Amino acid sequence: CKFSHRSKNLKIIQGMEKSVKSSLNNNTIELPEYIVDPSTKTTYLKGKFLGKGGFAHVHKMTDLTTNKLYAGKIIPKARLTKTHQREKILREVEVHKLLEHKNVVGFICCFEDKENIYIILENCPRKSLVHVLKNRKVLTEPEVRYYIHQLAEGVEYIHSHGVIHRDLKLGNMFLSENMEVKIGDFGLASHIERAGFRKITVCGTPNYIAPEVLSMEGHGKESDVWAMGCIMYAMLVGHPPFETTTLNETYSRISNNSYCMPMNISESARNLIFSMLKNKPEDRPVVSVILQDQFFHSGYMPKSLPPSCCSSPPKFP
Ligand code: ADP
């Protein structure tokens, strides 16, 4: 898949490339069929494999007391050989457990046994927007209104809790059974410790990395808005705005704010993308302003989408 492949391959986290690669190459991990949370004694039945991340294998997990189905991220402790790897998981849990919103993947609990760390999450059975884009190539403007509005509501909530996601991309926009957007993967997320403080660490996915992150000025809420601009562009155009065949060329285009806007994109969609992709972070709108944008009033905005939209264009009234 074009998007997930690229973003997975190009994901750079300073100093972590080597360990992520080696853990990705190691496909075989032994997992028990029944998993018990030692503190609550809740037993989960491990089900179908759902996907694989940097360190985690994700499986369907059924709580045998309630019969409720979840997605369980299983991280073998043996893979967390370096302190910063363990810290990444701890940060993901610390941040995610504080968040509760309809457009954020629900965090249920986290526990560990001798072998693994388990993170139990709301199950998102319709995968992510990467899969939708892979099937569809481009989306209609009403669908983009629907998805970007929900993304913005989730990001507004996250920002209002002093958290920046730092890795917003199509692959981290999961979809619930009834096609609601659920923002997930808080592995690179960070608390803004005090007003105005900007995180200086280099992280994120190169195609969606903001110019101020490239120039080491740090990552703020505005860098999440930049990523939202890249996501909206990719949905309407079919590829990310700064995509090229080499990383250096992509970085150079990001720094020069050089991208093409196809003429078939409506004026209101173009204007919103232009505003989110402003070179200077302070020139970009905050998410509460994005939610009031003309784009969301300039045409039909569906209240819900049928699951058939994952593979074929909807027929709107
Ligand atoms: P990592 O943080 O290690 O990169 P991810 O959170 O991206 O791991 O999860 C890896 C894969 O597992 C995803 O691409 C997706 O296919 C699947 N997955 C993750 N979370 C969920 C979820 N809540 N519901 C359903 N599938 C999920």
DSSP 184-250: ---TT-EE--STT--B----S-GGG--HHHHTTS-B-HHHHHHHHHHHHHHHHHSS-TT--SSHHHH
Residue whose CA is at the smallest distance from ligand 1 atom 13: 51
Cα 133 to Cα 171: distance, rounded to the nearest angstrom:
10
- Contact assessment for residue 72 and residue 59, using Cβ atoms and an 8 Å cutoff: yes
- In this structure, which residue's CA is closest to atom 25 in ligand 1? 124
Q: What is the pLDDT of residue 205?
A: 55
Active site residues: 167
Specify the ligand 1 atom closest to the Cα of 187: 2
What is the whole-number distance in angstroms between the Cα of residue 176 and the centre of ligand 1? 13
- What is the tens place of the pLDDT at every residue in 56-94? 999 999 999 999 999 999 999 988 888 888 888 888 999
Q: What is the dihedral of CA 172, 218, 152, 175, to 10 degrees?
A: 0
Sequence-distant (≥ 6) Cβ neighbours of residue 295 within 8 angstroms? 145, 148, 268, 269, 271, 272
Evaluate if residue 26 carries a pLDDT over 60.
Answer: no
Pocket, ligand 1, Cβ cutoff 6 A: 50-56, 58, 71, 105, 121-124, 174, 184-185, 187
The confidence score (pLDDT) of residue 290 equals 98
pLDDT of the residue at 200: 56
Instruction: Outline where 40-163 has alpha helix (H).
Output: 83-96, 129-136, 141-160
Average pLDDT over residues 125-129: 95
**pLDDT computed for residue 216 by the predictor:** 82
Q: Whose CA is nearest to atom 16 of ligand 1?
A: 51
Q: What is the pLDDT of residue 191?
A: 81
pLDDT band at 24 (very low <50, low <70, confident <90, very high): very low
Q: How far is the CA of 41 from the centre of ligand 1 (A)?
A: 25
d(CA 182, CA 123): 10
Mean local confidence (pLDDT), 38-50: 94
User: What are the counts of helices (DSSP H) followed by strands (DSSP E) for the chain?
Assistant: 10, 10
What is residue 17's predicted lDDT score, i.e. its pLDDT? 28
120 C-alpha to ligand 1 centroid (Å): 11
CB contact at 8 A, 139 and 133: yes
- DSSP-assigned letters across all residues of 60-95: EEEETTT--EEEEEEEEGGG--SHHHHHHHHHHHHH
Mean of all residue pLDDT scores within the chain: 87
pLDDT of residue 23: 40
Q: Which residue has 């199509």 as its token pair?
A: 170
pLDDT at 274 over 60: yes
Closest listed residue to residue 305, CA positions, set 294, 295, 316, 297: 316
**Cα-to-centroid distance, 26 and ligand 1 (Å):** 17
The predicted model gives 9-22 an average pLDDT of: 32
Atom of ligand 1 nearest to the CA of 182: 23
Give bridge partners of residue 306 from the DSSP assignment: none
Report d(CA 226, CA 74) in Å as an integer. Answer: 31
Say what the pLDDT of residue 20 is: 34
Of 23-32, 148-157, 229-238, where does mean pLDDT reach its minimum? 23-32
pLDDT in tens, 212-235: 988 888 789 999 999 999 999 999
**Residue 9: predicted pLDDT:** 35
pLDDT above 90 covers a percentage of the chain that reads 70
pLDDT recorded at residue 11: 37
Closest ligand 1 atom, residue 130 Cα: 14
Give yes or no for a contact between 117 and 75, defined as CB atoms under 8 angstroms apart.
Answer: yes
Mean pLDDT of 283-292: 98
Q: Which amino acid is at 265?
A: I
- CA of residue 143 to ligand 1 center, whole Å: 23
CA end-to-end distance (rounded Å), the chain? 31
Ligand 1 pocket: which of 24, 50, 205, 310 to mutate (most atoms <8 Å of CB)?
A: 50
For residue 19, is it left (φ>0), alpha (ψ between -120 and 50) or beta?
A: alpha
- In contact, 173 and 135? CB cutoff 8 Å: no
Residue with the bigger pLDDT between 85 and 283: it is 283
Is pLDDT above 80 for 15? Answer: no
- The closest residue, in CA terms, to atom 9 on ligand 1 is 53
Q: Whose CA is nearest to atom 1 of ligand 1?
A: 53
Average pLDDT on 240-268 reads 94
Give the separation between CA 130 and CA 134, rounded to whole angstroms: 6
Q: Is 137 annotated as a binding residue?
A: no
